């Protein structure tokens, strides 16, 4: 009998197929004791396993490319963390086997992360995956991961590690469902990049029996267990209609009555550019430069290396707009040369612009590199600062840009509620705003973006979050300046219409979402978008807001 479950839809499309479950996690190794004579050998085994796993993660990243590569390289850095390895060596020296030493050292570090604030707690799943891979190699058992299958299937897992998500084969994995995670988790972001329908934060999904036929609607978050023939036909028809709309949609983003809404791409570096160009992106709305810095946590990349990377992206969009976010380090992206190692809550400490202002040489080098990279190019370069809290922050950043001789527009990201509340004040110092809805929701609701238990509060349809967006857009309109959205909220086609109705002037998202958003915007007038936005803000919950906007746009 057909039953319906509801999670959080994070990647568009419909998948219908049999369930396959993710391979089980590595079992806890036995607490076997070794002699002092065996310690050196076991330490060598541990180091070899760690190096092999790090190399495997890097190789997977190179195969996947794009944003997945940056995520996997960060995992490789976790595997080779010197403090972790020192702890492993200490445990082996007092009698643990290599596998037990690794298991216990990671367990200790896991507890520290879990209690170190929202951002760091969100890295626990990544840490567990690295540990499991190292222990599996030491025990000589298969790596945990995606099941082997000759037939297409829908994958169900407690959570998906980046190493697994990055190399999913869309020809076999029709879609996936996780019990944990949130709309801005690594798995969700990578699913959108792959174009695989996905649902996250669906408790109880793991109880669905292997081989059961399910239907996954990644747009609505609905999962249908043993769907009827009628339901399958209904979903297939909806998917065909969306595909036809995508094929017919092209050109710049705009509403049906011609109100222009530039559709831009979020990129992490040159590897993400081809997909953005193919999707018809009108430029880049978020160039995440921190991925270049994560290649080596010990020192910043040279000015020459930065120029080379920036210029490749700028050259891809002649006459287009490229918005670069300067280094956003700290919290879940710590860098040894920049961020404090002993903060009790890194997410609320020295991160983003705060780190750069504490290290003006790093900021100056990056701004100088951007200035040189843009020389002689017809691109419209805009540079923005992350984690701006007030006008003082905005002024400090604008002054640094001028001192570096940067010929570009200077902007501020709105990720802290204070910035939305005082947006008009901030706009006295900068020329545009860009809303990072992922972090803005996290700070507005005190809800970690990586924790599935609070995904309800990370839903970008939350009316309180829409209020903050509206405040920012209204302030920009009053000052005659622009206000874009570069958070994952922009990738939801229906929400994109609401954001347009709130006064947002551009939308930036993963390349795979651009055709969906373009096609949906083209169906409605600006007035319809404004009415949908008003209806959503009048609601009391995210679900009510979504339904209210949908009712307005469907003419109900």
Q: How distant is the alpha carbon of residue 219 from its chain centre? A: 17
| Assigned token pair, 117 | 């604030």
Spatial contact of 508 and 322, defined as CB atoms under 8 Å apart: no
Burial label, 258 (beta-carbon count in 10 A; 0-12, 13-18, 19+): exposed
β 198-200/222-225 pair status: unpaired
- Distance CA(438)–CA(461), nearest Å, equals 12
Q: Bridge-partner residues for 399, per DSSP? A: none
- Distance CA(470)–CA(31), nearest Å, equals 57
| Spatial CA neighbour of 306 closest among 322, 327, 334 | 327
Ramachandran bin of 7, using left for φ above 0, alpha for ψ from -120 to 50, beta for the remaining angles:
beta
Q: What is the dihedral of CA 328, 333, 334, 335, to 10 degrees?
A: -60
| Helix segments in 140-204, DSSP class H | 162-165, 186-194
Nearest 5°: the CA angle 211, 212, 213 is: 115
Burial label, 89 (beta-carbon count in 10 A; 0-12, 13-18, 19+): middle
Is 186 among the catalytic positions? yes
Residue with tokens 């070899």, as numbered in its chain: 48
- Distance CA(510)–CA(266), nearest Å, equals 5
Q: Bridge-partner residues for 161, per DSSP? A: none
Buried b (16+ CB within 10 A) or exposed e, 65-79: bbbbbbbbbbbbbbb
Count CB-CB contacts under 10 A for residue 353: 26
Spatial contact of 114 and 124, defined as CB atoms under 8 Å apart: yes
Of the listed 70, 359, 483, 486, which one is catalytic?
A: 486
- Distance CA(89)–CA(83), nearest Å, equals 10
- Distance CA(526)–CA(545), nearest Å, equals 18
Q: Which residues contact 365 (CB under 8 A, 6 or more apart)?
A: 300, 303, 306
Is 483 among the catalytic positions? no
Q: Bridge-partner residues for 117, per DSSP? A: none
| Assigned token pair, 84 | 């972790």
Burial label, 25 (beta-carbon count in 10 A; 0-12, 13-18, 19+): middle
Q: Bridge-partner residues for 3, per DSSP? A: 225
Of the listed 186, 359, 401, 529, which one is catalytic?
A: 186
| Assigned token pair, 471 | 């405040």
Query: What letter does residue 533 receive in the DSSP assignment?
Result: H
- Distance CA(549)–CA(319), nearest Å, equals 35
Q: Bridge-partner residues for 17, per DSSP? A: 214
Catalytic residues: 186, 486
């Amino acid at each position: 009998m057909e039953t319906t479950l509801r999670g959080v839809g994070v990647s568009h499309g419909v998948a219908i197929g049999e369930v396959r479950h993710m391979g089980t996690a590595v079992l806890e190794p036995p607490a076997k004791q070794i002699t002092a004579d065996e310690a050196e050998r076991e330490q060598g085994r541990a180091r070899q396993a760690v190096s092999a796993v790090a190399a495997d993660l890097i190789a997977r990243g190179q195969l996947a490319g794009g944003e997945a590569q940056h995520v996997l390289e960060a995992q490789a850095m976790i595997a080779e963390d010197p403090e972790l390895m020192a702890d492993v060596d200490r445990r082996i020296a007092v009698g643990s086997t290599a596998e037990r030493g690794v298991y216990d050292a990671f367990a200790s570090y896991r507890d520290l992360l879990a209690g170190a604030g929202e951002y760091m707690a969100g890295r626990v799943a990544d840490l567990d995956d690295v540990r499991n891979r190292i222990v599996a190699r030491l025990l000589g058992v298969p790596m945990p991961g995606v099941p082997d299958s000759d037939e297409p299937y829908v994958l169900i897992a407690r959570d998906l590690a980046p190493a697994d998500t990055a190399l999913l084969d869309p020809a076999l994995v029709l879609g996936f469902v996780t019990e944990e995670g949130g709309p801005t988790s690594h798995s969700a972001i990578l699913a959108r990049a792959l174009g695989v329908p996905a649902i996250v934060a669906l408790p109880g999904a793991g109880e669905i029996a292997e081989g059961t036929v399910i239907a996954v609607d990644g747009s609505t978050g609905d999962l249908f267990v043993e769907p009827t023939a009628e339901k399958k036909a209904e979903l297939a028809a909806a998917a065909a209609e969306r595909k036809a709309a995508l094929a017919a949609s092209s050109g710049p983003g705009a509403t049906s009555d011609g109100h222009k809404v530039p559709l831009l791409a979020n990129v992490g570096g040159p590897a993400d550019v081809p997909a953005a160009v193919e999707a018809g992106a009108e430029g880049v709305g978020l160039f995440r430069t921190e991925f270049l810095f994560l290649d080596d946590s010990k020192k910043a990349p040279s000015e020459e290396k930065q120029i080379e990377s920036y210029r490749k992206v700028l050259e891809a969009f002649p006459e287009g707009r490229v918005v670069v976010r300067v280094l956003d380090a700290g919290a879940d992206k710590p860098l040894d040369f920049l961020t404090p190692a002993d903060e009790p809550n890194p997410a609320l400490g020295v991160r983003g612009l705060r780190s750069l202002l504490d290290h003006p040489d790093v900021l100056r080098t990056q701004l100088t590199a951007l200035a040189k990279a843009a020389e002689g190019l017809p691109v419209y370069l805009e540079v923005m600062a992350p984690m701006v809290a007030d006008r003082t922050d905005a002024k400090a950043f604008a002054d640094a840009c001028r001192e570096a001789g940067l010929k570009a527009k200077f902007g501020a990201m709105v990720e802290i509620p204070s910035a939305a509340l005082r947006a008009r004040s901030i706009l006295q110092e900068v020329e545009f705003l860009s809303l990072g809805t992922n972090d803005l929701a996290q700070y507005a609701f005190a809800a970690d973006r990586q924790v599935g238990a609070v995904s309800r509060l990370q839903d970008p349809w939350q009316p309180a979050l829409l209020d903050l967006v509206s405040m920012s857009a209204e302030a920009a309109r009053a000052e005659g300046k622009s206000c874009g959205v570069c958070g994952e909220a922009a990738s939801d086609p229906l929400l994109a219409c609401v954001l347009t109705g709130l006064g947002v002037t551009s939308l930036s998202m993963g390349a795979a979402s651009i055709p969906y958003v373009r096609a949906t915007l083209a169906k409605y007038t600006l007035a319809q978008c404004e009415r949908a936005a008003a209806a959503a803000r009048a609601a009391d919950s995210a679900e009510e807001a979504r339904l209210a906007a949908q009712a307005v746009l469907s003419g109900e």
